[in-house]
Amino acid sequence: MNSDTSCPPDRTTSRPLLAERHVARLLLGTLIGRLPSGMVPVAILLLIVERGGSLAVGGLLCALYGLASAVGQAVLGRMVDRRGQTRVTTAAVLVTTACLLLLSYADALAQPGLAAGLLVLAGLSTPPFEANLRALWSVVLKDPERRRAVLALDTGAQGLIYVAGPPLVAALSALHGPGAAMTVTAVLGLFGASAVLSAAPSRQWQPEDTQAGGLLGPLQHGGLRLLFLAVSGVGFSLGAMNVWAVSIADRHGMALLSGVIPSALSVGSLLGGILYGRLRRHGPLGTQLRTAALLFALAWAPLATCPGPIAATALTALPGLFLTALITSAFLTVDALAPAGTRTEAYAWLIAAVGTGQAAGTALAGALSTHPYAAALPAAGAFTCLLVLLGARRSLAVSAAARRRGRHRRTPAHAAHR
């Protein structure tokens, strides 16, 4: 159940996006359902630190969770493209909820094998809510400009996961301990999943009849492979920033900083999404990607000077202003390049690439948390993203041409391979 971007404009384009049928429910339900993505890593770090472990150990456990989630997103995305959203996502929700509930009772230091196994299984079964939602927008909104605007709002709003999630974990951990925070995380994820999976667009969504991606799916496309590599640098920045925030909080004896600093970036992302969604002139898609990547990288540079807590919180909001434009442009590029019948999987690979980079950034930042140059790791990831996008300029230019011709979903699987 997919729409072509050549369909006539929606007559209700003057209505607020959130007033459109299903939009608010799908957005809010997905945000709540994805809260574990923002809460689990912080809960793990706080759990390890509280019990006398090191940030390096906590970073490795978070990396396991992130890598497993990245792998799981791609696998579950392909299953959704073949079997629909309801059955696949429901099964994933039940497994990941059970794992998170068990983690709340596990002693990660005394039983590291059990904790690692539960984290891996929880990561592998992380429901593909974000990829599912991106696939639903073409069903809910027929007008291409409305879809672009809601995609920007959606991408920016995802930052609310890190606005609400980390501070909530920090507060719950301070009041009742990290175990209680993990239990609340599991319950919130289940609640959000119920709201999305019971909505008509999700229940009625059907896979495309055409499956042009072959065994490799969207990875057959050379441009997409380079794009996924590039956005892994974005994830590296985010993962390194999370550990850096915990180290600043520990160094200054201000526990809430571990949630406040990531929240500052997310607030910037939400504001950036609102501004980006209101733009009328966008330019070629490749230019949007490279410009957003350049600004995102430059915005991280001041943090490499190791500022104090207040300055660090304020400065972390700056990269967030450009994060939404970068990720939204990346999703639009995926939409233009993905072979027919691989839409959800292609979205999932993009999300998985961010998650893989985040896991790597978390692990490396944890290992280097005591070194002063650890503050430069977020900028390093962002500049890596920029360099890959500059090198992939010709491959990704195809997406801009495809968009101008209105050929979403019709690009042959073998076209523009590099």
For 30-34, 128-132, 253-257, 340-344, which range has the lowest pLDDT when averaged over its residues? 253-257
Percent pLDDT > 90 in the chain is 12
Mean pLDDT to the nearest integer, 391-399? 72
Q: How far apart are CA 124 and CA 120, in angstroms?
A: 6
CA 205 – CA 88 distance, rounded (Å): 12
How high is the pLDDT of residue 341?
Answer: 74
Q: Is 406 a residue whose pLDDT tops 70?
A: no
Ramachandran angles phi, psi of 15, nearest 5°:
-75, 145
Which band of pLDDT confidence, cut at 50, 70 and 90, is reported for residue 90? Answer: very high
Q: Please, are residues 117 and 234 in contact by the beta-carbon 8 Å criterion? A: no
- Which pLDDT score, from 0 to 100, does residue 313 have? 80
Give the residue-averaged pLDDT of 15-42.
84
Note the pLDDT of residue 407. 40
Q: What is the pLDDT of residues 176-235, one digit of tens each?
A: 877 788 888 889 999 999 999 998 888 888 776 655 556 677 777 778 889 999 999 999
Using CA atoms, how far apart are residues 258 and 109, in angstroms rounded to an integer? 21
Kindly list the distances between the CA atom of residue 331 and the CA atoms of 20, 118, 224, 324, 349, in Å, as whole numbers in the listed order: 22, 31, 11, 10, 11
The confidence score (pLDDT) of residue 91 equals 93
Q: How many residues does the chain have?
A: 418
- Give the model confidence (pLDDT) of 300-332 as tens digits: 888 877 777 778 788 888 898 899 889 888 888
Mean pLDDT of 370-399: 81
Condensed to tens digits (0 to 9), the pLDDT of residues 43-68 reads: 888 777 777 667 777 777 887 887 88
Q: Residue 293: its pLDDT value, please?
A: 92
The pLDDT, as a whole number, for residue 412 is: 35
Q: How far apart are CA 350 and CA 330, in angstroms?
A: 8
Mean pLDDT over each residue of the chain, to the nearest integer: 78
Confidence of residue 14 (pLDDT cuts 50, 70, 90): low
Minimum mean pLDDT range among 1-15, 25-39, 150-164, 364-378:
1-15
Amino acid in position 388? V
Q: What is the pLDDT of residue 175?
A: 83
- pLDDT at res. 363: 78
Q: Which domains does the chain have, with CATH numbers?
A: 17-405 (1.20.1250.20)
| Contacting residues for 301 by C-beta, under 8 A, at least 6 apart | 379
Predicted structure pTM score:
0.71
Backbone torsion region of residue 21, taken as left when φ is above 0, otherwise alpha when ψ lies between -120 and 50, otherwise beta: beta
Encoding tokens for residue 146?
């409305």
Decide if 167 contacts 259 (C-beta within 8 A).
Answer: yes
pLDDT band at 284 (very low <50, low <70, confident <90, very high): confident
